[in-house]
Chains A and B, each alone.
Chain A
Amino acid sequence: MTDAVLATRGLVAGYEPDLPIVRGVDLAVARGDFLVLLGPNGAGKSTLVKAITGLVSIHAGSVTLDGAEISTSPIHEKVRHGLAFVPQTENVFTTLSIEDNLRLAAQVLPRPGRAGRIAALYAMFPDLAARPRTRAGALSGGQRQMLAVARALVVEPRVLILDEPSAGLSPKVVTEVFARLAAINATGVTTILVEQNVRAALATAASRSGRAAILVEGRIAHEGPAATLADDPIVAELYLGARREPEPAA
């Protein structure tokens, strides 16, 4: 894919040098795309996005952002290049206030633009704007997730990667979070979403004409439009918990 904003080629990564979890992933995400990464537990979804962002060692292969090789760049440099990541857990600084969480992330921006960017995010997340001095540790799970997303958006990323943002949230909050992600993607931010909440994630990606990729044992096993994968009976059976109707007896 020539207009890929983020691409991996032959990516091998893991926590131990001789024990790769991601085993040769080729992935290309087009600008503005909404990609959902699915797969069973232990398939390597989280490891893949952590390797892309620099939190897990890359053993082989490459990661490019807008054509520039970033696999050896320090994590903070990747952020400066427009790659934002929201981890699944511990994704806000609980000892810092909401304001300080955002101001910390804004330090990447030129000084004159920081206050304006934070104000724009407060407009996008009015719940956070209502109490900027509150410590992030005092927020509910949903509010923390919103703060984590807002923190990632401070740098006006080209690519936003989220690792299971629905984990531990109530269905109502999950709906709200996914609606917010769709809205963020609609502004042109390329979005990569790792999710166990498969139906909601595919529905969100489908609403943005996005794609889905299924990782199995560290490799991409299926890839295609989210709407198509949601209706695929094999995918539904393997990953969505659906059961095929038994063959009628002859």
Chain B
Amino acid sequence: MSPQILVDGLIAGSMIGLGAIGVTLTYSILRFANFAHGDYLAWGAYFALALSGALGSLAGGALAAPIGPFSFGWSLPLAALAATALTAGLALLVDALLFGPLRRRGSSVIILVMASFGAALTLRSLLEFTFTSKPFYYTGELQIAVRFAGMRATPDQLLSLAVALVLVILVHLLLTRTAIGREMRAVAENPGLAGVAGVDVRRVVRTVWALGAVLACMAGVMAGLLIQIRPQMGLDLLLPLFAAAILGGIGSVPGAMLAGLIVGVGEAATVAVVGAQWRAAVAFVILVAILLLRPQGLFGRSDG
């Protein structure tokens, strides 16, 4: 395999991995597949777009001037930070208006999944209504790729990869080393017992929504920075996100990230070897294969 395929795959895979962590966390704790997760990613990208545009026009455009080798100014990282909060707020709002009432009513998993389809369509339509379907970019700056060991990557791509890895480590530490992480693992295993053990399960659920949305937002900003921003961007990433979440093993953060990278490299290899038109098939093939051969995923536990 060409080293360039590996680099391209790892960069794309880091975005998939970040999104898949949100999918795997919400799936393991709320016990349903949230098909609106991709749209949180798109909303995060648009929140950052709107905010970076506003910040960029402040201070005589000083915040929009590119930072060092990167294509963007300080307006984008600042906007991305604020966008994570807004995306978390959006996820909590959707939960408060839609999923929460359904859970309290004791709705079945299929009802929740169908509701998430509805939420996804609504969120996507709202984006299209507000921003149109025209693609946007955070920056118009051109970047020169850096050469290393026979491979090429732009500074933006390398930064995105580094940010993704740092976020994965932080989430892993949050889950394994903190009180809220312990509570999240407890609720994932047995919500009733968690309540009996004194855990405020509703608070944990809110935390999971917020954390998943923050990661989705970051993945969306990365996708917007490296590719483009479109209302359909979340939908396009949905299948790879679910493939990575299931391949990694539901509930496993390192598994979701590793699986995201595998899906990304698989897509890059397919584009290079077979053709770009087959890219979308990779996630589907991985998803079907893992469900048939190892449904618990790479790091999941078998129920048997």
Chain A interface residues (CB < 8 Å from chain B): 53-55, 74-76, 79-80, 84-85, 87, 90-96, 100, 103-105, 107-108, 151, 155
- The verdict on B21 contacting chain A, using a C-beta distance below 8 Å, is no
Inter-chain contact B193/A90, CB cutoff 8 Å: yes
Which residue from chain B places its CB closest to the CB of A108 in the assembled complex? B198
Which residue from chain B places its CB closest to the CB of A136 in the assembled complex? B189
Complex Cα distance, B202 from A96, in Å, reads 20
Inter-chain contact B182/A103, CB cutoff 8 Å: yes
Partner of A155, one of B193, B198, B201: B198
Interface centre among B183, B185, B198, B202 (most CB of A within 10 A): B198
Complex Cα distance, B182 from A54, in Å, reads 22
Q: A76-B195, A84-B196, A96-B182 are in contact. List 15 more A-B contacts (CB 8 A).
A: A75-B201, A76-B198, A85-B196, A87-B192, A90-B190, A91-B193, A92-B193, A95-B301, A96-B185, A100-B182, A100-B185, A104-B199, A107-B179, A107-B183, A155-B198
Partner of A93, one of B189, B195, B200, B201: B189
Inter-chain contact B192/A93, CB cutoff 8 Å: no
Partner of A104, one of B192, B197, B202: B197
The interface on chain B, measured as residues whose beta carbon lies within 8 A of the other chain's beta carbons, has a size of 19
Q: 30 interchain pairs (CB within 8 A)?
A: A55-B192, A55-B195, A74-B200, A75-B192, A75-B195, A76-B199, A76-B200, A79-B197, A79-B198, A85-B196, A90-B193, A91-B193, A93-B185, A93-B190, A93-B194, A95-B185, A95-B301, A96-B182, A96-B186, A100-B182, A104-B183, A104-B186, A104-B199, A105-B197, A105-B198, A107-B183, A107-B199, A108-B198, A151-B197, A155-B198
Which residue from chain B places its CB closest to the CB of A83 in the assembled complex? B196
Looking at the assembled complex, report how far the CB atom of B304 sits from the nearest CB atom of chain A, in whole angstroms: 14
**Contact partners of B193 in chain A: CB under 8 A:** 87, 90-93
**Contact partners of B301 in chain A: CB under 8 A:** 95
Complex Cα distance, B189 from A78, in Å, reads 21
Inter-chain contact A80/B195, CB cutoff 8 Å: no
**Contact partners of A108 in chain B: CB under 8 A:** 198
Per CB-CB distance, the 6 closest pairs between chain A and chain B, nearest first, are A75-B195, A108-B198, A79-B198, A76-B200, A105-B197, A85-B196
Which residue from chain B places its CB closest to the CB of A77 in the assembled complex? B200
Interface residues of B in 198-238 (CB under 8 A from A): 198-202
Chain B contact residues: over half helix, strand or loop, or mixed? Answer: helix
Which residue from chain B places its CB closest to the CB of A91 in the assembled complex? B193
**Contact partners of A107 in chain B: CB under 8 A:** 179, 182-183, 198-199
Given the known A-B contacts A76-B201, A107-B179, are A93 and B196 also in contact in the complex, defined by CB atoms under 8 Å?
no
Which residue from chain A places its CB closest to the CB of B203 in the assembled complex? A76
**Contact partners of B194 in chain A: CB under 8 A:** 93, 104
Inter-chain contact A94/B189, CB cutoff 8 Å: yes
Which residue from chain B places its CB closest to the CB of A55 in the assembled complex? B192
**Contact partners of B189 in chain A: CB under 8 A:** 93-96
Interface residues of B in 5-35 (CB under 8 A from A): none
Inter-chain contact B195/A54, CB cutoff 8 Å: yes
Complex Cα distance, B194 from A232, in Å, reads 40
**Contact partners of A95 in chain B: CB under 8 A:** 185, 189, 301
Looking at the assembled complex, report how far the CB atom of A216 sits from the nearest CB atom of chain B, in whole angstroms: 27
**Contact partners of B201 in chain A: CB under 8 A:** 75-76
Inter-chain contact B196/A75, CB cutoff 8 Å: yes
Interface membership of chain B positions 62-93, coded 1 if the CB is closer than 8 angstroms to chain A and 0 otherwise: 00000000000000000000000000000000
**Contact partners of B190 in chain A: CB under 8 A:** 90, 93
Which residue from chain B places its CB closest to the CB of A86 in the assembled complex? B196
Partner of B196, one of A53, A94, A100, A103: A53
Complex Cα distance, B196 from A151, in Å, reads 10
Interface residues of B in 162-192 (CB under 8 A from A): 179, 182-183, 185-186, 189-190, 192
Complex Cα distance, B202 from A197, in Å, reads 36
**Contact partners of A85 in chain B: CB under 8 A:** 196
**Contact partners of A80 in chain B: CB under 8 A:** 198
**Contact partners of A103 in chain B: CB under 8 A:** 179, 182
